[in-house]
Amino acid sequence: YPAGFVYIFLGLYYATGRGSDIRLAQHLFAGLYLLNLLLVFRIYCRTSKVPPYVFFFMCCASYRIHSIFVLRLFNDPVAMAILFLAINLFLEDRWSWGCLLFSLAVSVKMNILLFAPGLLFLLLQRFGLLGCIPKLCICALLQVVLGLPFLLVNPVGYLTRSFDLGRQFQFKWTVNWRFLPEEVFLNRAFHTALLLAHLAGLGLFARHRWHRSKDSILALLKDPAERKDPSPPLTIVFVLFSSNFLGVCCSRSLHYQFYVWYFHTLPYLLWCTPTAKLTHMPKVLLLGIIELCWNTYPSTVCSSFALHICHGLILLQLWYGTAPLPVPHTPPPSRRPTAASKKAQ
């Protein structure tokens, strides 16, 4: 894991009597769970998309999430709590502080990089190419500062092991690909296909769903003041949450603790598009099926296949529910004189 994880869990190690006071550790993670909910609720209050009753499911209806936080004490909740704090800062237009916290979250768990394509798009849209370089430097500088003790001793080992993009996952822990034969799951060609699908999905969403201007997407490289057609205000939450969700859908493997990567974003993804009252129940049903899939241990062919179906339905809703409205056609002005003009003649 990256350096941020080492520092945070080293502090927890000494705070709990060298790891012996498990009850205190659980209390600390229970506090982290409440803080995480507070940050998520603040984001949802800013968007005003999700009906209030859905927050009950987010708080009380997920045994798996409670287990990840308070029973297992994984580092995934730590990274996600810092990430949600960063998103709150983005919503307050504090981009430099938000980038600093985003990079801190990456230093705890590499999965935060799934939000990075969306963040890069937002920075380009907000600041242009030259304007976003200082923000990217903030992200990079923090990684260097945190990893400096390790980089000075073994830079290659630190970078290859902390950010191991070629890591081979074990088939017995997979939640999402159980219906595949193990030899296919471990095949590098399968991993490459998923990577290509991920990049294609990001490209399509960036071009047709995130980019709302009539200009070419290359116009994002220009200074915002020099663009011919200024982009309308973007929904920061939609871009970041959909970027992460695309990564989750194309992940080589999802383990049980990875549920926290996107659990708190699912209500927004389901309700961010215009919704009729009659369609609320199918969305609640989707949340329930996804929860059931993540609580099936060990995963089965049916549970993993059902999870992919649910992910596919959410993707279809995001694609068709956020399609740009057609531009109304204005008929050419008639050459026939109006009644008023005839009277004037």
**Would you say 302 and 178 are in contact if contact means Cβ atoms under 8 Å apart?**
no
| Angle between the N-to-C axes of helices 236-249 and 188-205, in degrees from 0 to 180, rounded to the nearest 10 | 160
Q: Establish if 39 belongs to a structural domain.
A: yes
Q: Establish if 328 belongs to a structural domain.
A: no
DSSP string, 248-280: HHT-S---GGGGGGTGGGHHHHHHSS---GGGH
Residue 138 structure tokens: 């903030």
pLDDT score for 340: 45
CA distance 269 to 238: 8
Q: Establish if 334 belongs to a structural domain.
A: no
pLDDT bin (cut points 50, 70, 90) of residue 333 is low
Q: Is 76 left (phi over 0), alpha (psi -120 to 50) or beta?
A: alpha
pLDDT bin (cut points 50, 70, 90) of residue 107 is very high
Q: Tell me which of 223-227, 270-274, 305-309 is least confident.
A: 223-227
CA distance 84 to 42: 9
Residue 255: other Cβ atoms inside 10 A: 16
pLDDT score for 39: 97
Burial of 28 (0-12, 13-18, 19+ CB in 10 A): middle
Q: Establish if 332 belongs to a structural domain.
A: no
Instruction: Annotate 275-313 with b (16+ C-beta within 10 A) or e (fewer).
Output: beeeeeeebeebbebbbebbebeebeeebbbbbeebbee
pLDDT score for 327: 53
- Residue range 282-287: average pLDDT? 93
CA distance 257 to 149: 29
- Residue range 279-304: average pLDDT? 94
pLDDT bin (cut points 50, 70, 90) of residue 86 is very high
Quick one: what percent of the chain has pLDDT higher than 90?
A: 74
Q: Establish if 326 belongs to a structural domain.
A: no
Quick one: what percent of the chain has pLDDT higher than 70?
A: 92
Burial of 2 (0-12, 13-18, 19+ CB in 10 A): buried
pLDDT score for 74: 94
Instruction: Read off the pLDDT of residues 186-218 as tens digits, 9 standing for 90 and up.
Output: 999 999 999 999 999 999 999 999 988 777 888
Q: Establish if 342 belongs to a structural domain.
A: no
**Would you say 287 and 57 are in contact if contact means Cβ atoms under 8 Å apart?**
yes
Instruction: Read off the pLDDT of residues 124-166 as tens digits, 9 standing for 90 and up.
Output: 999 999 999 999 999 999 999 999 999 999 999 998 888 877 7
Tell me the whole-structure pTM to 2 decimals: 0.91
- For tokens 């809703």, name the residue: 317
**Would you say 39 and 220 are in contact if contact means Cβ atoms under 8 Å apart?**
no
Domains of the chain: total: 1
pLDDT score for 38: 96
Does residue 322 have a pLDDT over 90?
no
Residue 94 structure tokens: 């504090």
Q: Establish if 297 belongs to a structural domain.
A: yes
- For tokens 């926290």, name the residue: 260
pLDDT score for 234: 64
Instruction: Read off the pLDDT of residues 36-74 as tens digits, 9 standing for 90 and up.
Output: 999 999 999 999 889 999 998 888 888 899 999 999 999
- Residue range 231-257: average pLDDT? 91
* Distance set, CA 325 to CA 129, 233, 321 (Å): 28, 15, 10
pLDDT score for 342: 44
Angle of CA points 41, 45, 49, to nearest 5°: 110
Mean residue pLDDT across the chain = 90
**Would you say 164 and 125 are in contact if contact means Cβ atoms under 8 Å apart?**
no
Angle of CA points 277, 283, 288, to nearest 5°: 140
Range of the domain at 140: 3-320
Q: Establish if 52 belongs to a structural domain.
A: yes
